[in-house]
Structure 1
Amino acid sequence: MNLTLDRAEVLRYMGHAGGDADIVETAQRAMDRIVEIAQPRWKWIVCTPDALPLSGNDIRRHLDGCDRMAVLCATLGAAVDREIQRTGHRSMLDALALDAAAGDAIEKVCDAAEDEIRMQFGQDGYFVTGRFSPGYGDLPIDLQRDLLALCDAPRRIGLSATPSNLLTPGKSVTALLGISAHPVSGRARGCGTCRLYADCPYRKRGTHCGA
Structure 2
Amino acid sequence: MIENPEARRLLASVRGRTVAIMGGSFNPAHEGHLDIALLALQKLRADEVWWMVSPQNPLKTADDMAPFEERKASAERLARGHPRIRVTDIEVLLGTRFTADTLGSLAAGAPFTRFIWVMGADNLVGFHRWAEWQQIFNSVVIAVFDRPTYSLRALSGPAARRFAKARIRQRSGWRLGRRRAPAWVFFHTPLNALSATSIRYGSDRPDSKGRTRQMQ
TM > 0.5: no
Higher relative contact order (CA 8 A, sep 6+): 1
TM-score of the two chains, using structure 2 as the length reference: 0.24
TM-score of the two chains, using structure 1 as the length reference: 0.24
Larger Rg: 1
